[in-house]
């Protein structure tokens, strides 16, 4: 007997909450015996109901209270410096949750990243090159924000110091 929509959504939450990493819509669809589009719709309804589900390039994740501290860092650099910037963040133990730009017409645009390691950064940069995709920051002359999930304040301070030394932080006017 096939499960109803409410049961399916409950199963999606169980799967996402028990997973150690992102779960793709295709994987959820295969597990639950429905189409990918059904899963996308279910997740949209779960999010509308207040579930903290984020879509990343590798799949869906549920935000957990992890004891980590969240910080936003403002950066400015060319597309060629993207990998160096992201590696600084993950090398200091932080997860790069997203990238955010302020577009003059659309307002705030954000892209989920969920980068935790150099491996994640390498895959992200490789995929961007493969797709010939320009970073969101190119819409704003290189200026962008990242939300970082850091294990502690010291990790965040190390990121700031390293980004400043590399000339990747957005300079503040005096």
Mean pLDDT value across residues 51-57: 81
* Residue 56 to residue 42: CA distance in whole angstroms: 16
Average pLDDT over residues 85-113: 91
Q: Give the mean pLDDT of the chain.
A: 89
Indicate the domain borders of the chain: 5-62, 69-165
Which of the four pLDDT bands, split at 50, 70 and 90, describes residue 66?
Answer: low
Across-strand partners of 136?
none
> What is the reported pLDDT for 37?
92
Query: What CA–CA distance (Å, rounded) separates 15 from 163?
Result: 37
pLDDT higher than 50, residue 114: yes
CATH of 69-165, one of 3.40.50.80, 3.30.1340.20, 3.40.190.290, 3.40.50.850: 3.30.1340.20
Give the pLDDT band (50/70/90) at residue 174.
very low
Q: Is residue 17's pLDDT more than 70? A: yes
Residue with tokens 């989920």: 112
Give the pLDDT mean for 95-120: 90
Domain 5-62 has CATH 1.10.10.10: yes
Strands 143-150 and 95-103: antiparallel
Would you state the pLDDT for residue 58?
83
Q: Do domains 5-62 and 69-165 have the same CATH topology?
A: no
Kind of pairing between the strands at 95-103 and 59-62 = unpaired
Beta strands in the chain (DSSP E): 53-56, 59-62, 69-76, 95-103, 107-115, 143-150
What's the pLDDT score for residue 67? 72
Number of C-beta neighbours around residue 163 at 10 A: 22
Give mean pLDDT, residues 57-80.
83
At 133, is the secondary structure helix, strand, or coil?
Answer: coil
Mean pLDDT, rounded, for 70-83? 92
Look at residue 172 in the predicted model and tell me its pLDDT: 62
What value does the mean pLDDT take over residues 68-89?
92
Examine the pLDDT at 147 and tell me if it is beyond 50: yes
pLDDT digits (tens, 9 = 90+) for 115-128: 999 999 999 999 99
pLDDT at 5: 87
Tokens found for residue 76: 């400015």
């Amino acid at each position: 007997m096939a499960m109803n929509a409410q049961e399916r959504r409950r199963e999606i939450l169980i799967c996402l909450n028990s997973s150690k990493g992102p779960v793709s819509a295709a994987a959820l669809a295969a597990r639950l015996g429905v189409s990918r589009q059904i899963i996308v719709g279910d997740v949209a309804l779960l999010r509308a109901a207040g579930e903290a589900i984020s879509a990343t390039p590798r799949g869906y994740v549920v935000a957990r209270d992890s004891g980590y501290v969240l910080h936003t860092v403002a950066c400015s650099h060319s597309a060629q410096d993207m990998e160096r910037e992201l590696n600084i963040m993950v090398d200091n133990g932080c997860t790069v949750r997203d990238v955010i730009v302020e577009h003059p017409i659309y307002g705030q645009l954000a892209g989920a990243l969920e980068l935790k390691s150099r491996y994640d950064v390498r895959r992200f940069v490789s995929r961007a090159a493969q797709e010939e995709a320009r970073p969101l920051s190119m819409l704003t002359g290189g200026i962008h924000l990242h939300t970082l999930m850091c294990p502690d304040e010291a990790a965040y301070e190390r990121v700031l110091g390293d980004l400043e030394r590399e000339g990747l932080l957005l300079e503040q006017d005096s």
